[in-house]
Amino acid sequence: MLLYLLRRLLYAVPIALSVGLVCFLLVHIAPGDPINAIVPADAPQELVEQIRRDYGLDRPLPIQFAVWLGKVAQGDFGNSLATGRPVWADLSVAIGNTLRLAFAAALIGFVLGTVLGGLAGSFQGSPIDKLAVAFAVAGVSVPHYWLGMVLVVIFSVQLNWLPAMGAGPGGSSDWAWDAEHVRHLILPAVTLSVIPMGIVTRTVRGIVAEILNQDFVQTLRAKGLSGWGVFLHVVKNAAPNSIAVMGLQLGYLLGGSILVETVFSWPGTGLLLNNAIFQRDLPVLQATILVLAMFFVVLNLAVDLVQTAIDPRIRRG
């Protein structure tokens, strides 16, 4: 197990370097000069050049990348072009809010998806199966930003049950584990959970249906094993593939919540990234994309290790 872990960690190093390079190049390929976003249109050319030198944007791209990578390795993401604040000061708060939103959405989506998928796979062709499949298709088909606006209209505007904006009272970005802050979390979490719920439902349904049709299940039943015992064998065989899908979906929740966070003004990495795009704030863009990409890499590594612990055949392979 230790050798497998070390091998996976070694594989992650070139992936991390490649992700850093892609993040750096993507924001520089985009059209426009980031300096124009922070200086007036009638600013003297001397001032523009001075600001460009201060931020190191006058150097060749390879030198800029080497300097940026060296600072990132030390935990220094630089200062925002728009606000002048350290990037990590804003990014750390946004990461915490996004993690809370993503894990809340994952809890809702994965639990509902596993239950619906398990029931649908166990009762193929029944009304339960058809209802679960309908929920799954609707979940992956409905745009979540549209669903978010519909939920705001219903539960915030018409019923006035739940708040529509921010992570706390008054649109605050601070978080506390109390009833008022949890109320702000409900609508964006439900909106974000719909797509993973649909994907997990369809995946678990297919896996459970396939396992139940295998010969070893019929053998277990023929030996007189109880329904609970058969269920445990099905869960054990379905777990590796189901966990892989859930891990990927959690990664998508962390990196793909930009539209939902914008709809609900949720102060996470999605909203921070959206603002940085419009402001052409290169340091914030680079840092946010890199952190989200590294979350995805770490999640894939964690999923591989969990799969290997559950199914040793993966390690032997």
Q: pLDDT tens for the chain, 317 residues: list them.
A: 677 677 777 877 787 788 778 877 777 776 666 676 667 767 777 877 887 787 777 788 888 888 888 888 888 888 887 787 888 888 888 888 888 998 999 999 999 999 999 888 888 888 988 999 898 888 888 888 889 899 999 998 898 888 888 887 776 667 778 888 888 889 999 999 999 999 999 999 988 888 888 777 777 777 777 767 777 778 777 877 788 788 888 878 877 678 888 888 888 888 888 888 887 788 888 888 888 888 888 887 787 777 777 766 655 45
Domains and CATH numbers, the chain: 94-316 (1.10.3720.10)
Q: What is the pLDDT of residue 150?
A: 92
Asked whether the beta carbons of 99 and 257 are under 8 A apart, the reply is: no
What sign has the CA pseudo-torsion 13, 253, 185, 146? positive
CA 80 vs CA 35, 63, 245, 279, 281: distances in Å? 12, 20, 36, 10, 6
What is the SS3 assignment for 148?
Answer: helix
Q: What is the pLDDT of residue 122?
A: 83
Residue 255 burial by Cβ neighbours in a 10 Å radius (0-12, 13-18, 19+) = buried
> How many C-beta neighbours within 10 Å does residue 290 have?
21
CA 295 vs CA 14, 75, 109, 154, 254: distances in Å? 15, 16, 19, 34, 8
Asked whether the beta carbons of 144 and 195 are under 8 A apart, the reply is: yes
> 248: which residues sit within 8 A by CB, 6+ positions away?
299, 300, 303
pLDDT digits (tens, 9 = 90+) for 195-223: 999 999 999 998 888 888 877 777 777 77
Q: What is the pLDDT of residue 294?
A: 83
Q: What is the pLDDT of residue 312?
A: 63
Q: What is the pLDDT of residue 140?
A: 86
